[in-house]
Amino acid sequence: MIRTGLVSGIRPTGELHIGNYYGALKGLVELQERYDARYFIADVHSLTTHPKPDGLRGLVVETARNYLAAGLDPERCTLYAQSSVAAEVCELHAYLSMVMPLGELLRVPTFKDKAKRHPDNVNYGLVGYPVLMAADIFLVRTELVMVGEDQLVHLEVARAIARRFNQLYGDLLPEPQPLVGNAARIPSLSGQGKMSKSDDPAACIGLGDDERTVEEKTRRALSDPLRAYRHQPGHPTEDGCNVFRLHTFFTGEAEREEIAASCCEARIGCIDCKKRLAERLSGIVEPFRRRKGSIGEADALDALRLGRDKAKEAAGRTIADVRRAIGLQML
């Protein structure tokens, strides 16, 4: 049976956190059963914002170990580092960049946002980020792309590129469709936005955190700013208390209702409530850590090599077709 192709990438910009697990990894494991799944670790992409990521190679290996610990089967899916097909992806990127008007790229909101946040590093690659992402997708010619909601706009760019390319050179690139991952965002422990691996690690529950670290980080999490003293009743709603908001993701309904009732009557304090959250978080992170403990660097490298070979084969075919379509293969 020929399975529909699906691609998804992750940038190795830091340690993975429980948000990545909940919002991405869990879903990718399920999807490998249904699709011809290609998962890549976007190490080339990470250079757009992290020109000197600390220990890039180590981060790629760690990301692969996390994927394997989550349950990805390198035989069943294709797990590869983007740099394994760097020559092919950069070549395709060059061709695609010439059918994409610059003005449209400069208007992409994620570009404007990143340029505003890091005005000292508005590089050429950052503007071309969606074009490189399109090259990632077209290289393995998949029909579906699993993205977070923030990446939907990049997928629109990829679709526009496919249309323009096909108009010029013939029907070669399939217009990719989005498969949006779990839209819910796990909030940061600091209460500022969502957990993000390139932000403060203290605000994220890392997938490598041991029980004590989980407890300590949770203890320091922002809770209800209006509840200064233990005897005061709290405001256990999603907007009223960041810790309660986190409970909505990880704690069952019955227990949550009981926590809310006790908090409203000041029968429990924030410390008790955070302890219970920490138990729930550790209930996810601990088994994950144990599984990861049995996966070494060598296993990750074996998986990445297997993936590299599969990805290179697909990429080689695409590049040959693209060159032929453009008319670049004269010899």
* Residue positions annotated with a catalytic role: 114, 194, 197
Between CA 234 and CA 237 the distance in angstroms is 9
Closest CA to 155 of 136, 171, 177, 127: 177
For residues 266-298, b (16+ Cβ closer than 10 Å) or e, as one string?
A: eebbbeebbebbbebbbebbeebbeebeebeee
Nearer of residues 151 and 282 to ligand ATP, judged by Cβ? 151
* Phi-psi region at 85: left, alpha or beta (left = phi > 0; alpha = psi -120 to 50): alpha
Residue matched to tokens 């498969």: 179
**Token code pair at residue 65:** 């170990």
In the complex, residue closest to ligand ATP by CB? 23
Nearer of residues 137 and 263 to ligand ATP, judged by Cβ? 137
Interface region with ligand ATP, contact rule CB under 6 A, candidates 11-19, 74-82, 116-124, 219-227: 11-19
Interface region with ligand ATP, contact rule CB under 6 A, candidates 19-27, 88-96, 220-228, 286-294: 19-27
Note whether 148 binds ligand ATP by CB under 6 A: yes
**Token code pair at residue 74:** 């390198």
Between CA 186 and CA 25 the distance in angstroms is 14
Note whether 19 binds ligand ATP by CB under 6 A: yes
Ranges within 184-203 binding ligand ATP (CB under 6 A): 185-186, 194-199
Q: How far is the CB of 40 from ligand ATP (least distance, A)?
A: 12
Nearer of residues 31 and 322 to ligand ATP, judged by Cβ? 31
Q: Per-residue contact track with ligand ATP, 78 to 107, x per CB under 6 A? A: ------------------------------
Note whether 39 binds ligand ATP by CB under 6 A: no
Interface region with ligand ATP, contact rule CB under 6 A, candidates 18-26, 230-238, 267-275, 305-313: 18-26
Number of residues located near ligand ATP, criterion CB under 6 A = 18
Between CA 28 and CA 21 the distance in angstroms is 10
Q: In the 8-state DSSP scheme, what is residue 188?
A: P
Interface region with ligand ATP, contact rule CB under 6 A, candidates 15-23, 61-69, 129-137, 238-246: 15-23
Nearer of residues 13 and 218 to ligand ATP, judged by Cβ? 13
**Token code pair at residue 309:** 């070979």
Helices and strands (H and E) in the chain: how many: 15, 5
* Residue type, position 98, single letter: M
Nearer of residues 70 and 311 to ligand ATP, judged by Cβ? 70
Cβ(244)–Cβ(237) below 8 Å: yes
Note whether 314 binds ligand ATP by CB under 6 A: no
Max Cα–Cα distance, the chain, nearest Å: 82
Nearer of residues 21 and 138 to ligand ATP, judged by Cβ? 21
Give start and end residues of each alpha helix (H) in 202-241. 211-219
Closest CA to 273 of 301, 292, 245: 245
Note whether 11 binds ligand ATP by CB under 6 A: yes
Note whether 24 binds ligand ATP by CB under 6 A: yes
Interface region with ligand ATP, contact rule CB under 6 A, candidates 163-171, 181-189, 279-287, 321-329: 181-189
Binding site for ligand ATP (CB under 6 A): 10-11, 13, 19-20, 22-24, 148, 181, 185-186, 194-199
